[in-house]
Chain A
Amino acid sequence: MIDLAFIAERYNYWIFIVLMMIGVYIVISRGNLVKKIVGLNIFQTSVFIYYISIGKVAGGTAPILPAAYESGHEGKGARASAAHGESAPAPGAASGESLHAAPQSAPEALPANDLASAVAQTPQGAGPSGEAGLHAAPGEAANPLLAPPDGAGDAASALGEAAHKAAEIVYSNPLPHVLILTAIVVGVATTAVGLALAVRIREAYGTIEEDELEAADDIAEFGAAFGEKAEGARA
């Protein structure tokens, strides 16, 4: 039986898959070099969308290294957490797990934004926005901040409170966005090189249709074009 809600909830992945397939199909099926570049761009954009959509995490927080705070904001960890943009500072807490990290002691616990756990835990979508349901936290295990370490006193209870609040917030993990900014730069560079090559090919051959290019090469090498390529060249 097809679970429509299951499918509809994951619309962002469907956008990714459909765009990806369209992109690859254009790259493979089109003979025009510029159209191939267009296909390549659609393909790459689909990946950008995928990365961006996994950046939304319900109940996530920034990775914080409390140990570094104890040592007076001088350790490397303090700088690391500052760079990741804290949303809920947690001085004194002993739990130093990063955003998605499954605690080492419980490797079977899947991370917060894992597909499988989202399926198991929240088929209906529990977050404040519809999209949040896709990435809803599967429960206590995935968010180490929900289980404050003992002996931390007031700080721990404050942390627990903050963590419960955080569970209702859709957190935007900045890292995938940063990665995709890099990937966009790479994609633009690839497009630029590809189009520049297309221009040079047009200068050298007078066409940017793949079959005409092949026919031109065949004629240069063997004196005649063969098969379909020849028909393509004549057309």
Chain B
Amino acid sequence: MNLMAQLPVLPVVIPFVAGALALLLPKGRAPWAWATFVSWLSFLASALLLREVAATGPVSYHLGDWPPPWGIEYRIDLANAIVLALVSGIAAAVAPFAYESVRAEIDERQSPYFYAAFLICVSGLLGVTATGDAFNIFVFLEISSLSTYALVAMGGRQDRRALTAAFTYLVMGTLGATFFVIGVGLLYHATGTLNLADLHLKLAGQHNRVVEAGFAFILVGIGLKLAMFPMHLWLPNAYAYAPSAVSAFLAATATKVAVYVLVRFFYSVFGLDFAFLGDALTYVLLPLGVAGMFVASLIAVFQHDVKRMLAYSSVGQIGYMLLGLSFGTREGLAAALIHLVNHGLMKGALFLAVACVVYRLGDHRCAAFSGLARRMPVTTWAFVLSGLSLIGVPGTVGFVSKWYLLEASFAAGHAWAAFMIVASSLIAVLYVGRVVELMLLREPPEQGPLSEPVKEAPLSMLIPMWALVAANLYFGLRTEFTAGFAEQAAAALMTVSGGR
């Protein structure tokens, strides 16, 4: 048995087994070192997989050697290879960062549990992405969500609101997952298969209520998971009160994976021939995407808590992805995939910068950021650069996303959508600018608990944070990895779904 032949399953299996083993490790540094090592290993496997897929085309792996459609198939094409690389890459950056941050925010006795939950969450997210089986998606979605609820609730030591946030997330997340499973059940009822590629073949030409209801359940279920605009209520509190390292990881990956699932169902399962999909794109995704872009961004402007502000901004940014998807064109799909990766990079970097501030000042409200440039210049500049990326300044990944989104909206004949994208980016200038102004131009607080002198964050936090900031700049200038792969992935998905 050759290890390379098992490559498609390795990113999922390694953290899954390692997560269970992490529970057995002694408290302290060992679980962290193990989690870091494993997440790097998983990233390495994902990167090799991406290289292989880019070179030779889609890879199919049959679990236990059962041939599809009977057995579970892991089918890696360019679209999910990119998402796998994003998720495992963010995990590989957050894991080394987490040690200091988690030691400060979480009881040391819980460290084996924390890293076990972290690894299982990584494994679940990678599993959702890698699998080619509809029910398997549900199982991995719940594996990742259950560990996420536990991770969010661990913020309860710092702020008890983390507990209620985790509970709300649990209720909403379970509703979403159960809706998804009803949808999968209806599709199974209509076709007798669960394999995504097989579903696509057997759904061709089926335009009955069963399939339409299945589509609607899946859209709503995944919509809850990805915090589509009116179903985003669980997200701000969960991200604001989770331990800082967890916020960074979740903001960069969890909703992105859900967006990917939506893309997979839209284009690989239903296809553009399914008339209901076109209506859903035009009458559901387009208005909700635009509403999210504006409403959530406007709410972000008025937040007093930087983590909450970034969380609302995430809801707004998901609006861009939905807008890209809603065009139903190759360009729109490519733009959505590009923004999916790029937003993961920028939000990861921003949340890590906030985590550094929390580590030194113990607070993530705006007041803590006052005069930060004098106290923690390295962190401040990381925040400023990734903030510029969030706005979409040239030279950063944010610009690449916005550029492709604008091109896609002109190509789809929606010039007004291009106007909306620019207008809502201006709102991003407001909320990012507000914090940047506090950091660069204000004086540090002169009294109160925040006025004590603080040092810069330790190197073990600065290096992973700057690695993500560097990725923001590097992929902003060299787009062949993100945009190039995303365009190829979009073209491949469009061919399957019968679009142009």
Contact surface of A with B, Cβ cutoff 8 Å: 20, 24, 27, 33, 36, 40, 43-44, 47, 50-51, 54, 63, 76-77, 79-80, 83-84, 98-102, 104, 107-108, 110-111, 113-116, 175-176, 179, 182-183, 186, 189-190, 193-194, 197-198, 200-201, 204-205, 213, 217
**A116-B149 contact given A33-B167, A98-B193, A198-B167, CB 8 Å threshold:** no
- Subset of 26 A-B contacts with CB under 8 Å: A27-B175, A33-B167, A44-B174, A47-B181, A50-B182, A50-B185, A76-B66, A83-B70, A98-B70, A107-B205, A114-B208, A115-B208, A115-B210, A179-B135, A183-B138, A183-B181, A186-B138, A186-B142, A186-B177, A190-B174, A193-B146, A197-B153, A197-B166, A201-B163, A204-B156, A217-B161
* Residue B170 is within 8 A (CB to CB) of chain A in the complex: yes
**A43-B178 contact given A80-B71, A84-B70, A108-B205, CB 8 Å threshold:** yes
B155 vs chain A, min Cβ distance (A): 11
Q: Quick check: A194 and B189 within 8 Å, CB to CB? A: no
A32 vs chain B, min Cβ distance (A): 12
Q: What residues of chain B lie closer than 8 Å to A54, measured between beta carbons? A: 185, 188-189
* Residue B4 is within 8 A (CB to CB) of chain A in the complex: no
Q: Quick check: A197 and B202 within 8 Å, CB to CB? A: no
CA distance A114 to B170 in the complex (A): 33
Q: Quick check: B161 and A101 within 8 Å, CB to CB? A: no
B415 vs chain A, min Cβ distance (A): 40
**A40-B160 contact given A98-B69, A101-B193, A114-B210, CB 8 Å threshold:** no
CA distance A19 to B188 in the complex (A): 21
CA distance A187 to B277 in the complex (A): 30
Q: What residues of chain B lie closer than 8 Å to A198, measured between beta carbons? A: 167
Q: What residues of chain A lie closer than 8 Å to B209, measured between beta carbons? A: 115-116
Mask of B183-222 contacts with A, CB within 8 angstroms, 1/0 = 0010011111110000001101110111000000000000
* Residue B67 is within 8 A (CB to CB) of chain A in the complex: yes
CA distance A51 to B171 in the complex (A): 22
Q: What residues of chain B lie closer than 8 Å to A114, measured between beta carbons? A: 189-190, 208, 210
**A205-B185 contact given A36-B171, A40-B174, CB 8 Å threshold:** no
A108 vs chain B, min Cβ distance (A): 7
Count of inter-chain pairs, beta carbons less than 8 A: 122
A23 vs chain B, min Cβ distance (A): 9
Q: What residues of chain B lie closer than 8 Å to A175, measured between beta carbons? A: 194
Q: What residues of chain A lie closer than 8 Å to B193, measured between beta carbons? A: 98, 100-101
CA distance A107 to B204 in the complex (A): 8
CA distance A182 to B171 in the complex (A): 19
CA distance A197 to B209 in the complex (A): 39
Q: What residues of chain B lie closer than 8 Å to A20, measured between beta carbons? A: 182
* Residue B65 is within 8 A (CB to CB) of chain A in the complex: yes
B211 vs chain A, min Cβ distance (A): 10
CA distance A36 to B182 in the complex (A): 20
Closest 3 CB pairs of A and B: A100-B192, A204-B160, A80-B70
Give residues of chain B (59-91) contacting chain A, Cβ–Cβ below 8 Å.
Answer: 65-67, 69-71
Q: Quick check: A44 and B178 within 8 Å, CB to CB? A: yes
A116 vs chain B, min Cβ distance (A): 5
Q: What residues of chain B lie closer than 8 Å to A47, measured between beta carbons? A: 178, 181-182, 185
Q: Quick check: B210 and A197 within 8 Å, CB to CB? A: no
Q: Quick check: B160 and A116 within 8 Å, CB to CB? A: no
CA distance A65 to B66 in the complex (A): 13
Q: Quick check: A116 and B210 within 8 Å, CB to CB? A: yes
CA distance A100 to B194 in the complex (A): 11
